[in-house]
């Protein structure tokens, strides 16, 4: 069984991004970029399935500018077998990405797609569900546990009230939550090996998908600042302030 894992290159989760001074966008100059943390978990899950003998091949795919190749190498270094870089501008919208991924699915014919539940830059939380819809497949979003048994997948999902377990007909799209696994670090020999793994490049135009943006960003702004920073000396002062100043008790 082949597993396809889409990965996105995003601003590293430790970076506190800023708006450009004219409000026209996000200042990404000299900002550290990394694999989206949820996608890292997706790659790890796919590699574990391969190591357990449930999968035969793990193919990673990323859509965007040249920088994506670095992200794909990261995925290859933790055990993915080969990579596909769909060469496009950065910032393609989730609907268009899911249409491109559908084309990759029809070329590659995987039985399972595992991906992150959301990208930590646009925080959209859409692409997996959209891909599943376009393929007419089942979906198991926000997964914290995944088991495969023949033509079924059992997925435990993190929901608002706790957990729920679904049985999905395969093929399926799974989107990962944080607690699905703890991704490994790539070892130096594996990073070296990853450099020799195959990386196919496909210009996005070859996929025949209209990627024209449907949503226009108008303004980027910092959220209203909080006027925090005040310290109280002890519990008595805290309670007094909460009662008479903040009036929340």
The residue among 37 and 64 lying less far from ligand FAD, judged by its C-beta, is 37
33 lies in the binding site for ligand FAD (CB under 6 A): no
Q: Which does 234 bind (CB under 5 to 8 A by kind): ligand FAD, other proteins, none?
A: other proteins
107 C-beta neighbours (distance < 10 Å), count: 12
Q: Which of residues 38-77 bind ligand FAD (CB under 6 A)?
A: none
Eight-state DSSP code of residue 187: P
CA–CA separation, 89 vs 97, rounded Å? 11
| C-alpha to C-alpha distance for 123 and 142, rounded to whole angstroms | 14
Which CA distances in Å does 244 have to 39, 119, 121? 48, 42, 40
Residues across the chain? 249
- Shortest distance in whole angstroms from residue 195 CB to ligand FAD: 26
37 binds ligand FAD (CB under 6 A): yes
From the list other proteins, ligand FAD, none, partner contacted by residue 32 (C-beta under 5 to 8 A by kind): none
Measuring CA to CA, which residue among 112, 145, 114 is closest to residue 43?
A: 114
Considering beta carbons, is residue 151 or 206 the nearer one to other proteins? 151
Is residue 120 at the binding interface for ligand FAD, with CB under 6 A as the rule?
A: yes
To ligand FAD, the closest distance from the beta carbon of 92 in angstroms equals 21
Q: How many CA atoms lie within 13 A of 16 on its CB side?
A: 2
Least distance from C-beta 35 to ligand FAD, angstroms?
Answer: 11
**Minimum distance from CB of 13 to ligand FAD (Å)?**
4
Distance of CA 99 to the CA centre of its chain: 16
Minimum CB distance to other proteins smaller for 62 or for 139: 139
Residue 134 binding target from ligand FAD, other proteins, none, CB below 5 to 8 Å by type: other proteins
Residue closest to ligand FAD, measured at CB: 37
Per partner kind, with CB cut-offs from 5 to 8 A, the member of other proteins, ligand FAD, none near residue 248 is other proteins
Q: Does 19 bind ligand FAD (CB under 6 A)?
A: no
Q: How far apart, in Å, are the Cα atoms of 190 and each of 37, 54, 194, 198?
A: 20, 22, 6, 14
Distance CA 177, CA 173 (A): 13
Q: How many CA atoms lie within 13 A of 40 on its CB side?
A: 19
- Which of 109/164 has CB closer to other proteins? 164
Q: Which residues bind ligand FAD (CB under 6 A)?
A: 13, 37, 120
């Amino acid at each position: 069984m082949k597993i396809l894992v889409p990965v996105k290159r995003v601003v590293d989760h430790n970076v506190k991004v800023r708006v450009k001074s004219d409000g026209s966008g996000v200042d990404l100059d000299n900002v550290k970029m990394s694999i989206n943390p949820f996608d890292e978990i997706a790659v790890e899950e796919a590699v574990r399935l391969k190591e357990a003998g449930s999968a035969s091949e793990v193919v990673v795919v990323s859509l965007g500018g040249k920088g994506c190749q670095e992200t794909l190498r990261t995925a290859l270094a933790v055990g993915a077998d080969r990579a596909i870089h769909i060469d496009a501008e950065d910032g393609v919208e989730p609907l268009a990405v899911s249409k491109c991924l559908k084309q990759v699915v029809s070329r590659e014919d995987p039985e399972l797609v595992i991906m992150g539940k959301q990208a930590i830059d646009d925080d959209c939380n859409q692409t997996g569900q959209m891909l599943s819809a376009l393929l007419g497949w089942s979906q198991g979003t926000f997964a914290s546990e995944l088991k495969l048994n023949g033509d079924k997948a059992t997925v435990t999902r993190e929901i608002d009230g706790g957990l729920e377990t679904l049985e999905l007909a395969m093929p399926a799209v799974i989107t990962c939550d944080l607690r699905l696994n703890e991704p490994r670090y790539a070892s130096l020999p594996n990073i070296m090996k990853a450099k020799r793994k195959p990386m196919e490049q496909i210009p996005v135009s070859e996929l025949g998908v209209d990627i024209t943006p449907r949503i226009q960003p108008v303004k980027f702004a910092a959220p209203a600042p909080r006027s925090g920073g005040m310290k109280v000396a002890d519990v008595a002062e805290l309670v007094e302030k909460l009662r008479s100043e903040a009036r929340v008790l």
